[in-house]
Structure 1
Amino acid sequence: MKIPMLDLSEQYQTLKNEMLTALDQVMSSSHFILGDNVKKLEADVAAYSHVQHGIGVANGSDAIHIALQAAGVKSGDEVITTPFTFFATGGSIVRAGATPVYIDIDPVTFNLDPKKIEAAITEKTKAIIPVHLYGQTADMEEICAIADKHQLAVIGDAAQAIGAKHKGKTVAEYGTAATYSFFPTKNLGAYGDAGMVVTNDDQVAENSRVIRVHGSKPKYYHHVLGYNSRLDEMQAAVLNVKFPHLDKWSELRRERAAIYTHLLNEQLGDLVKTPVEKEGNYHVFHQYTIRVEKRDELQAFLKEQGVQTMIYYPLPLHVQPVFKDLGYKEGDMPESEKAAKEALSLPMFPELKQEQQEYVVAKIAEFFKK
């Protein structure tokens, strides 16, 4: 059996006619930049996130960068974040002129450990970026309480967590702003790059809108250094077709996660650590990530059996070569480093069949029996 990590073809076939109609309407209108499709998506995603503002940008990385700059982060500032995340989190901090300050993760959720935040705060600290990894929110009440105490901005990296909740609130309702990625593999994915900043802060929203168009307001008058980072009409049209299905897809992901957890616990017991949904959280399972010893050997075996898996992420940011000047070394973030050696993400998408999941788990069990 051949089981891909992600298969978008069935989703496309289901939405094909509606999708082609929407794209044809954009092309027929000849309005390709910041038109009605973008405005609709911004309004709908903001409402879905229970905030006032959505600002469409070119991609999820730019969303983080722009949100930081819009919140006042500048050269010489420090931003606290996790090293166990995609490069964009740390890279966006540096692009904003600031210095990333890495702290270790909670080994159960893979998210930023709030208990380590205050020790990392200095007079240069301006913001905290919690990453809602794999679709589960970080401990936002605790993080925001610390941020409020020290007057810090909180920019939630929710690239993998649109629709996720913490104690009944969306990821965007906590802190200064949150950012989404609509990369094609995401739970709500475009057919190219796209992203969004979502916020209740009027000034952050206004700053973000100005920054995404070269820092101009009005047009051709530039008061800040901005970027060309606009969500285009074609991608917005694709996302508008997909958006009404998001909640259904999230529920299907949760159902498939429950199946994996049941099968893995039943057949492998303590040999595999399955994901833990923290009490009060609504996990949207962008990834279903297990922890295992002999992870690399298991991945190679599953590949031989036709099962595609992914490692998110094999090298934490604090020991990435590009960040060597920050002075971190192996051993500084033991939980992140251990997770990088054990984490393995299994195939996960709404259309995944139970028989496919049974095959995946059977092959994992076969590996350990050997």
Structure 2
Amino acid sequence: MTNKLFMKYTTLPNTNIKVSKICLGSMTWGNQNTEAEGHEQLDFALDQGVNFIDTAELYPVPATAEMSGRTSKIIGSWLKKTGNRDKVILASKIAGGGDYTAHIRTTGFSPNAIKEAMDLELKRLQTDYIDLYQLHWPERDTNRFGVRNFKLDTKWEDNFNEILHSLDSEIKAGRIRNIGISNENSWGTMRYLEESRHHNLPRVATIQNAYSLLTRTFETDLAEVALRENVGLLAYSPMAFGVLSGKYIKGTAADNARLKLFPRFARYSGEKATEAAKRYLKIAEDNNMSLAQMSLAFVNQQPFVTSAIVGATNLKQLKQNIESINVTLSEDVLHQIDEIHNMMPNPAP
């Protein structure tokens, strides 16, 4: 393990846009965090070399009609106050269909829905353009959000081409620079690439999916797609809702910790996931690291990862998360991690 104090950068695939390998997530702002705290995190992250910020019209989470879009408004007020728009790469997302997004709209990714979503998000963010605009999850009903088994959605009609045409209109209008997908699988990713290739339409630059020590399903087949097709992973939940900080295992989680406030978010806190987290904690401690930094360093080192999205509810957490970029895991530590993974593969779906 080596430590050097500098931020690392890469580029969004097939672009010349430089982004930090650590992306600042904002999902808690407007719910667990106030506007002032969100601004404080933005100031600190930018000072540490983080230039990549991710939000969504759905945020903050848990999603409610009353709070929808509040996170982006916090970012927008910071951009207006600081004048830092040209210093950051801004990513956002249009909400997909689902019962928990009906308060936003029920029209999926139709042309009017994409235009409406862009109109509203640009207003909230107080900017004229978004650097990376992502589809938050597929319109079709597929195995996303922790669903392991696939069932055919017979009601959905193929609309990849229409979606890309709508996004192309936004790009030509100067409101979007690049596009991405999120919570997608291999088939959907390849369909978008196929439409782009054969119809001269915008090309997906990134895919934002869950990836952590507890959820390595991306490696099953999407990793090959990412590497061969040059689609970069923006890894969300690399800390598995804080489980990989070790605070729940040790009983040191604060009262405002995510799983204490919202116990229904149990994706990463089942019996098998908890046992795996305990074993990873021992590896970290045996090698003089925190579990948080080992977990994030593992994600940062994957060749298919463009950036790891980290979130925090306070500056102490954020500082530790950002500093993970300066940690390099040895081959021996990686081997120990893989031994646990082979015994307990993907304990969180």
TM range (shorter): under 0.3
TM-score by length of 1: 0.25
Q: Which has the higher contact order (CA 8 A, sep 6+)?
A: 1
TM-score by length of 2: 0.26
Larger radius of gyration: 1
